[in-house]
A = this chain, B = another copy of it.
Amino acid sequence: MTVGNTILDCIVQTGKLYGISVGPGDPELITLKGLGILQRVPVVAFPAGVKDKPGMAQLIVKQWLQPHQLQLALTFPYVQDTEILAQAWQMAASQVWHYLQLGQDVAFVSEGDVSFYSTFSYLAQTLQHLRPGVDVEAVPGVCSPLAAAAALGVPLTSRDQRLVVLPALYTVGELEAVLDWADVVVLLKVSSVYEQVWQVLQGRGLLERSWVVERATLPDMLVYVGLSDRPTLKLPYFSLLIVKVNNN
């Protein structure tokens, strides 16, 4: 029996980790490729929700999953402490590796696109560090700025427009410099800095060339077209702001 098990161990091929981009909210915005992989893997992983609530990506793919698929919630704490983060990534990578070494493929689903400011990057890099040579594939998808532009009915960019995307951590000075230069600016996760941003846009006469989109493509999506009368806005975490500096 022992010999038999050893032979069995040798012939089990390690599974593959897929990063599946599921888009910003509407479940129909997954790609055919992403859905095909999602529906054939035995293990579907996702970032755990906060306070026992399901995570965003888990909710998005819920309708595509089968009862026999194992659902694996991985904890990625919302903190800045790099040591706590590194420990969480190690733990998540180990949990994924547990299934891969059994020869099972794992699909990690992530809202938006897995190459665009995504938790998947940390999981994949930690796993590749832990187990060099492990097989990882990213499946691209719809990122939130493009979903927001589609929902607004305006192109994000056209012709020779220069695009800048800024994640949440930026200063007013940096924003001023970007507005001097770019044609289109996207501010991601704008909720915590909205009031300062509004002041800058007002000073430049750009409020009527600005849009805010909350929860793009979800049933409770809200859009603000022009911001002149909105110096304050109570926004959820997944909100973004688009400014068309030049309409050339």
Contacts and interface: CB of A to CB of B under 8 A. Distances in A.
Contacts of A36: 28
Contact of A166 (B19, B33, B153, B162): B162
Interface string A142-174: 110011011001111111111111111110000
A12 B29 CA distance: 31
Contacts of A167: 157, 159-162
A91 interface: no
A115 interface: yes
B149 A140 contact: yes
Interface string A114-139: 11111011100000000000001111
Contacts of A139: 150
Interface in A26-85: 26-33, 35-36
A29 B28 contact: no
A189 to B, nearest CB: 10
Contacts of A33: 26, 28-29
A237 interface: no
A114 B150 CA distance: 8
Nearest to A168: B160
Nearest to A139: B150
A248 B147 CA distance: 27
B147 A140 contact: yes
A136 B151 CA distance: 11
Contacts of A146: 21, 113, 115-116, 140-141, 143
A177 interface: yes
A23 interface: yes
A18 to B, nearest CB: 11
A136 B150 contact: no
Given A28-B31, A115-B157, A162-B170, 9 more contacts: A26-B33, A28-B32, A32-B32, A114-B155, A116-B157, A140-B146, A140-B217, A160-B168, A162-B164
Q: Which 5 A-B pairs have the closest CB atoms?
A: A28-B33, A115-B149, A138-B150, A121-B155, A163-B165
